[in-house]
Structure 1
Amino acid sequence: MSDSEKQCCAPKRSRAGRPPDPAKDQAIMKAARDLFLERGFSGTTIEEIAANASVSKVTVYKRFCDKETLFEKCVRKEIGRMAEAFDVGDGSSEGLEQRLNAFGLKLTKFLTRPNHVALDRVMGQEFAQVPSLGKRMFEAGPGQSRARLAAVLQEACDDGILTCDDPLRAAEDLLVLWRGFIEVELKFAVRPAIDEESVRERVEHGTRTFLRAYQR
């Protein structure tokens, strides 16, 4: 990789003053997401991402700096898409249950997809070899999920719907209830797959159990 390819810089405007084409960023992100899920982080190259996005390798480097940054942005975008579920429902107790179920369903469906399970199997080894990458991905993925969920729970506490001394700990409790043992069974291939209805039942059961413990 040349020094120019390694250089991180913001996309430059053209001489006419036009902003960068956002379609290129979207194409790069989509290509990267698909390849990361299919081949993992180490198995994916910038060259392949550029080719699948129909852009040059230099364009990828200029817009996203490096593969680590691109992977992190893909993870953050995925979590942001899931967090849109918090926009449903209202400020009532029933509305909170609806919002939690919507987020839990999106999150659990993503985590139990076969390509994500396969990726999860190998990423632990990569994070052990490169701890700095593991920290970045934790903050972008699980850490961000926990923080967004904790913010919703804190809001519910402020509104008098829930009672909890530590919203982050409460978020962890709920995440465990949602995920249960599914991911372990999938990771060890004890269970080949899980259907959406089973995911929904587990998420709704986890939310009900959580609310019984934390509702005032």
Structure 2
Amino acid sequence: MTNPVETRTTRKRQSILAAATELFLQRGFLATNMDEVAAIASVSKQTVYTHFGTKEALFLEIVTGMTGEAGDELEGQVADPVDGRPIEDFLLEFAEQQLAIVMTPRLMQLRRLVIGEAERFPELGKRLHAKGPGRSIGRLTKAFAHYSESGDVEAEDQRAAASFFNWLVMGEPVNDAMLLGDRAIPDADALRSHARESVRIFLAAYGRRP
């Protein structure tokens, strides 16, 4: 049976996280205060501190949660390669899904926020990298080990190849959105076209030789 106390506690925690996420994304770290978080979440300020301890801890929880959710979604959408699956198919699906999941206004806002607070909270950048690009590069490294055995990828350093592919896919769209704002996020057709070209370029450099 569900414990009513645990259910209420979980509900309050989720309300606090939702309220704080919106305030941090809209205003940044310094301009957000815990009184407003408590008011929007319909809990007491003491409840906020009971759950998270400090404003800094709440901020770190949100960064970790949002980037982790994006990584979980990508992992759920794109399975690791299996024998017989063409590398072009795997890379194209990976690139398309990665772009579709990451290139959203909320995640770009989060990224700008983390960069703006990186000096104040060095741990932020580490968490964003580990849960975001680091996780993708790790998955690609394993995939390239699989495709190296079949001769579909020729790379002495599979992690370096994974990093090159990851940033070939993500570099330009992310950089444009970071510098030019959410309006610079390409539409779905443009992202798919970019994914196809990224796969073509990567395989021209690392794919099976004739």
Q: 1:206 aligns with which of 198, 201, 209?
A: 198
3-state SS of 2:117 partner: helix
CA drift at 1:194: 1.4
CA distance 1:68–1:30, change in 2 (3 Å): closer
1:84 to 2:76 alignment: yes
How many residues align? The count is 200
For structure 1, list consecutive stretches of 5 or more residues without a partner in the other structure: 1-15
Residue aligning to 1:127: 118
1:143 to 2:134 alignment: yes
1-side partners of 2:170 and 2:106: how far apart? 17
CA drift at 1:170: 0.9
Residue aligning to 1:192: 184
Normalising by structure 2, report the TM-score: 0.72
CA drift at 1:80: 1.4
Residue identity opposite 2:200 in structure 1: R
2-side partners of 1:37 and 1:106: how far apart? 24
Residue aligning to 2:144: 153
Residue identity opposite 1:175 in structure 2: N
3-state SS of 2:175 partner: helix
Instruction: Please state which structure has a larger fraction of its residues in helix.
Output: 2
3-state SS of 1:87 partner: coil
1-side partners of 2:99 and 2:22: how far apart? 19
CA distance 1:157–1:111, change in 2 (3 Å): same
Q: 1:169 aligns with which of 160, 164, 173?
A: 160
CA distance 1:60–1:207, change in 2 (3 Å): farther
How large is the Cα RMSD of the aligned pairs? 3.4
CA drift at 1:206: 0.4
CA drift at 1:150: 1.8
CA distance 1:209–1:69, change in 2 (3 Å): same
Normalising by structure 1, report the TM-score: 0.70
